[in-house]
Amino acid sequence: MFNALLATKEDGQQSVDVTQIDHASLAETGVLIKIDYSTINYKDALAITGAAPIIRQHPLVPGIDLAGTIEDSDDPAWQVGDKVIVNGWGMGEAHSGGLAQYARVPSSFLVKLPQNMTTRHAMCIGTAGYTAALCADALEAQGVTPTQGEILVTGASGGVGSVAVALLSAREFSVGASTGKPGAAAYLTHLGASSIIDRHTLSEAGKPLQAERWAGVVDAVGGNSLANACAQTRYGGVVTACGLAESAALPATVMPFILRGVILHGVDSVMAPHASRLSAWARLARDMDLNLLETMVTEIGLSDVTTMAPDVLAGKITGRLLVDVNR
């Protein structure tokens, strides 16, 4: 038996509680992982609170990511004792996830822990930080360089945004950090932001084309903020879209794309190919200052998750929420 956060449903009502479950309840095949840490990402908060139908079957352990140590393997490529990371692949949606002391997943889900990281480091980064790295990879793959101008990061004081600011500034990009938190300026400047943007200047409806400012964008919020970011992007610039914390809507026109050649690049972290995952984690291992990472993190235990999840949705959390599943 081991501790897990378990989501159940009765008469259409979801309940999420810490309980003990048996190893027999895990998948019959795959790699057994003793989990050290998981996280609460925005998607996890949606799942745990029931604010969106993220969990497709009940009972299920939520948690879209984990880091830990292999205790049993049915794949010779992965050995007992290997330290591994799992992000996405439907974990916490259709497959029991990381908010437990154990998980069994297909070996195809696994990424080897970078040598310079601990499992704690990996989940301080978590899916939010891994998504930020995918966005940074996409910007550079499309040819965006520091000499071309500023990069806008929306939702900058959240999980994706915090890591994006740190990663991009480490690559000598000038970063404009958009936030709605009045007290976040010092935090974001410490992470490397060169300017602070009031979120409300982006979150209100704007003109379809505006003064050109941004060479690239990492957008984690969607809605008017994404539309305005596109409208403000310079000729040939790249906008990466990876979230919907503000809205799933995109109230924009085609004008930035057909008159300025702006590229809107969608970033999916759930089903990203293995090569993209390896590239993102390599970037994180190379560019993420692990001491700086610690300043982004609030650590909680498994029993605190249901209390903290609503705060994530309400935008009350700065940076990342790390979950020690063994306390």
pLDDT, tens only, 182-204: 899 999 999 999 999 999 999 99
Query: Which range marks the domain in which residue 104 is found?
Result: 2-113+296-324
Could you tell me if 149 and 244 lie in one domain?
yes
Domain boundary among 216, 246, 266: 266
Domain boundary among 224, 251, 266: 266
User: Tens digit of pLDDT for each residue in 83-96?
Assistant: 999 999 999 999 99
In a domain, 288, yes or no: no
> For position 149, which CATH number holds?
3.40.50.720
In a domain, 31, yes or no: yes
pLDDT band of 12, cuts 50, 70, 90: confident
In a domain, 310, yes or no: yes
Helices 159-170 and 119-141: angle between axes, nearest 10 degrees: 70
φ/ψ of 192, rounded to 5, equals 125, 0
Of 223, 191, 220, 218, whose CA–CA distance to 205 is shortest? 223
Of 214, 216, 176, 224, whose CA–CA distance to 198 is shortest? 176
In a domain, 106, yes or no: yes
pLDDT mean across residues, the chain: 96
Per the structure, how many domains does the chain have?
2
Could you tell me if 165 and 229 lie in one domain?
yes
For the chain, what percent of residues have pLDDT higher than 70? 100
In a domain, 274, yes or no: no
User: Tens digit of pLDDT for each residue in 284-300?
Assistant: 999 999 999 999 999 99
pLDDT score at 102: 98
Q: Pairing state of beta strands 195-198 and 214-219? A: unpaired
Could you tell me if 107 and 153 lie in one domain?
no
> For position 44, which CATH number holds?
3.90.180.10
Helices 274-287 and 119-141: angle between axes, nearest 10 degrees: 110
Could you tell me if 148 and 248 lie in one domain?
yes
pLDDT score at 48: 97
In a domain, 123, yes or no: no
Could you tell me if 109 and 196 lie in one domain?
no
The three-state secondary structure class of 8 is strand
Cis peptide before 114 (omega within 30 of 0): no
In a domain, 118, yes or no: no
Of 297, 206, 215, 216, whose CA–CA distance to 255 is shortest? 206
